[in-house]
Structure 1
């Protein structure tokens, strides 16, 4: 990637060009033998002004990666380092993906279009740079379900099957290939800063900091570098805490919380062996290769704080140690407030606004779920609206659990809360006996007919089911949070 400066970047050009020389290298997409469109996110295409693309043009841009008009002339494979399962790795970077366009949504917020499975880059090492079709299907499902649950997440934007046969150790091989495009505010990772610190590249670090503040956190700007760096870290700290609070209420297990899988806007990002809890289990681990349970469900809040500490250490290159330490302080509060708010939102109830009283509900509710073995999604579904759903809960497949004495204190706390927009209970979704869900057995069940006979009917039905939940819960009014119109 040729050196650029602000003066070299034309007005209206993608902002990422301002820092391209410091954070990435030119890349090219693989020449795939086939392009079969399997998924296009039409709702987010409308948000970004790309909804008028016919399928042929869609495939040209998001499968063959013809440049989007007025955008990047060539893709950019990003450079970064990271802690992987606690061990620092300076040999990272986009090995099977790149950033190839930036767009604005209808509110003027900056969004990246990035890939997964687009071919080898200089960072591929021994990898083939490809993505299995199953991997692409899994990310679509997870991203859509997170969005339906009101969790801040990157969006699956496009999936194109590419006609190659791949060999993997963790699924039957040979298996089909695909290229995924995801939409997110930023692909700048904690590991992007770690790389600058490792190389002691003060110029690159300053450019990265200025870019993040200009595009995402203008409130952090300050003429004094030390204060600016600390203010940026504080913003990232708050957003990360909010994200993980949402994960815990949604029963989401990211699976691989390496520092290169955290981005600076606090979006759920780069999740691979994800899971959603079937029942409450703090020790549930998503990745089969996480033998020590480092990233188990109950440890996710701790790991988020640890990742932020590594970011703070990297920022010492330009920041002050005491100020950076202070900038990490809001993490626990942001996490706690988010966990409280998201739990209440998923139950359709208003928090009391008294932290001690609100935590009392969370402790009783989640403690009971853990002890009783109640199904995670079913419990939230049955008690959406609190006391207004008591009759619905009596007809639940797990109604017997609610009649047991141990649930009585939880019921009392739920019924004491005020329902929020109770008219949502009139949606057809809440007339069903059971909610939408996305436990791993369901994913495997819908993948089997795709693998065996190219039958996508169960996948389509699951997407429709998730969409019904999204519309009924109506938790995504703010959608992407970061950025200013």
Structure 2
């Protein structure tokens, strides 16, 4: 059994100023456990922006001590690693107790929790090995940073380290560890866990902890019993979640496994598994090979989030103690999602003000794209440049039957005839990325990384960090995916 977190192995030269955080909630919320070392670790990828947010010293990625710490081979000074327990619904079915089966919370510093993913077995690993593989770790590292650059709320990734240690998945792969950060990794499933076990004291302690840290405005709504505060908390989580899903839909992002244990209580994109950015626009696209029923298809994501929020509401009922109040707390979800989504889509169209007819214009564009499965990212980027040049021929070329586009374009131009074209184009070019993490681009970087070459990963990281810029000379990364890209199969295995 892995040792508890009293090991004296420490890593320098970084000594974080750890803050009291999740661990203060007590032993019912998790178990202290040491990471399991990996042989011959090496750096795969690092993020200077995340490092700066944590206060890491210059040149930190050249430190063998920090390489060891972020692989789980040594402890950062003062760290007491913790695996948290939670439960949840997976593919719509109650799964019971789950927990951090391969993740360890090292602590909280600079207002951010630092967590290792893939650092070995924990008391919550069930039948798993506690490991992550190089393939999925690179995908998470790149995608979390890419979504952040797109303005989508998300956890972040400080680094990925690799090891030649073998890990068995569909085939034999090699191990890796992602160091990821977030204000909190608390999930809907944490609340479901304590509610399902009727541990109402722990449930209240958890809710109070989250409200005090991230939803302090909800404290002002509490009555003598505190119940109104919990209903306000549910409403605030619901509205954050609605805005998150609106962002996903606007950038064409499929999460792929929206279980309640993968839903952030802070409205962040959490747990990167079988995700995908859309190529051709197929509203019913299923990016997860394991999702045989299509529960988490792209166009179902708003409804699934709504269903998951009802699970959270049920978990909070012992605190809210008023079914009508809980129902009312969730009642704003649809309007908030619709408003946020329409606002994002207006920006993609360069609409400088809200006008009657905007929603119909958006729906008309979506219907056109879906009819021929036109490439999502390329359509919007070409439309942006067309607004600059007032030449829509490159957009028209995307359609085999352009008559529908011609009719839509006429409607679009009539609606925007009074608007400043330069301002419209500027807004569009800042709202429609040229570069997204397509599956085939990730696969190419992974293939090179397996050979010990990380230049492709670094190129992608650079492009995705500034996805709205042109990056002359790298146009191939913004082109149509190759034919083989449609055969990439992504499952929950990672």
Question: TM class by shorter-chain length?
Answer: 0.7 to 0.9
Q: How does 1:75-224 map to 2 (within 5 A)?
A: 75-104=81-110, 110-169=111-170, 173-221=171-219, 222-223=222-223, 224=225
| CA apart distance, 1:458 | 2.2
Secondary structure class of the residue paired with 1:38: strand
Match of 2:24 in 1: 18
Q: Which residue of 2 aligns with 1:58?
A: 66
CA pair 389-199 structure 1, distance change in 2 beyond 3 A: farther
Q: Distance in 2 between matches of 1:166 and 1:426?
A: 43
C-alpha deviation, 1:151, in angstroms: 1.3
TM-score by length of 1: 0.85
Partner residue in 1 for 2:11: none
Report which stretch shifted further, 408-417 or 365-374. Answer: 408-417
In structure 2, relative to structure 1, the CA distance for the partners of 1:276 and 1:389 (3 Å cut) is: farther
Alpha carbons of 1:45 and 1:413: their partners in 2 closer, same or farther (altered >3 Å)?
A: farther
Distance 1:296 1:352, change over 3 A: same
Q: CA deviation at 1:68?
A: 4.0
Give the direction of change, closer, same or farther, for the CA distance of 1:53–1:465 in structure 2 (3 Å limit): closer
Which segment drifts farther, 434-443 or 221-230?
434-443
Matched residue, 2:384: 384
Cα distance between partner residues in 2 of 1:455 and 1:414: 47
- Over residues 8-47 of structure 1, what are the superposed CA-to-partner deviations in whole Å (9 max), with x where a residue is unaligned? xxx9732223314332111211111122011111012112
Corresponding residue for residue 335 of structure 1: 337
CA contact 1:424–1:472 (8 Å) conserved in 2: no
What's the offset of the Cα at 1:423?
5.2
Secondary structure of 1:322's counterpart equals helix
Deviation of 1:318 (Å): 1.4
Contact 1:61 1:67 (C-alpha < 8 Å) held by counterparts: yes
Say whether 1:368 aligns with 2:352. no
Compared CA separation, residues 226 and 471, structure 1 to 2 (3 A)? farther
Query: Following the alignment from structure 2 to structure 1, what is the Cα–Cα distance between the partners of residues 398 and 381?
Result: 16
Aligned mates of 2:95, 2:210 — CA distance in 1: 23
Q: Which residue of 2 aligns with 1:269?
A: 270
Closer/same/farther in 2, CA of residues 225 and 443 from structure 1, 3 Å limit = same
Cα shift readout 1:270-292 (whole Å, capped 9, x = no counterpart): 12011111111121111111111
Matches of 2:290 and 2:134, distance apart in 1: 21
SS of the aligned residue for 2:236 comes to helix
CA offset digits 1:305-344 (Å, max 9, x no partner): 0000000001111112111110001111111122112223
Higher mean C-alpha displacement, 39-48 vs 116-125: 39-48
Counterpart contact for 1:383–1:389, Cα < 8 Å? no
Find the partner of 1:36 among 42, 53, 57: 42
Residue 254 of structure 1 is matched in structure 2 by: 255
Give the equivalent residue in structure 1 for 2:485. none
SS at match of 2:384: coil
Q: Tell me the number of residue pairs that the alignment of Structure 1 and Structure 2 aligns.
A: 446
Specify whether residues 346 and 132 from structure 1 end up closer, same or farther in structure 2 by C-alpha distance, changes over 3 A only: farther
Q: Output one character per residue of 1:118-141: Cα deviation in whole Å (capped at 9) or x when no partner.
A: 110000111110000011111122
CA distance in 1, matches of 2:429, 2:346: 19
Q: Answer yes or no: is the 8 Å Cα contact 1:37–1:59 preserved in 2.
A: yes
1:367-401: CA deviations, max 9, x gaps? 1111132211101111227732533x5346x6353
Between 464-473 and 404-413, report the one with greater CA deviation. 464-473
Aligned match of 1:408 in 406, 409, 433? Answer: 406
State the SS of the aligned residue for 2:98. coil
Which range is displaced more, 357-366 or 258-267? 357-366
TM-score where L is the length of structure 2: 0.84
Gaps of 5+ in 1: 3-10, 105-109, 474-485
What is the Cα deviation at residue 462 of structure 1? 1.8
State whether residues 81 and 194 of structure 1, in contact with CA within 8 Å, keep that contact through their aligned partners in structure 2: yes
Asked whether the 8 Å contact 2:231–2:329 carries over to 1, the reply is: yes
Partners in 2 of 1:87 and 1:425 — Cα distance? 41
- RMSD over aligned CA atoms reads 2.7
Number of the residue aligned with 2:314 = 313
Evaluate the alpha carbon distance shift between residue 217 and residue 345 of structure 1 in structure 2; reply closer, same or farther with a 3 A threshold: same
1:476 counterpart residue number: none
Separation of aligned partners in 2, 1:130 and 1:24:
19
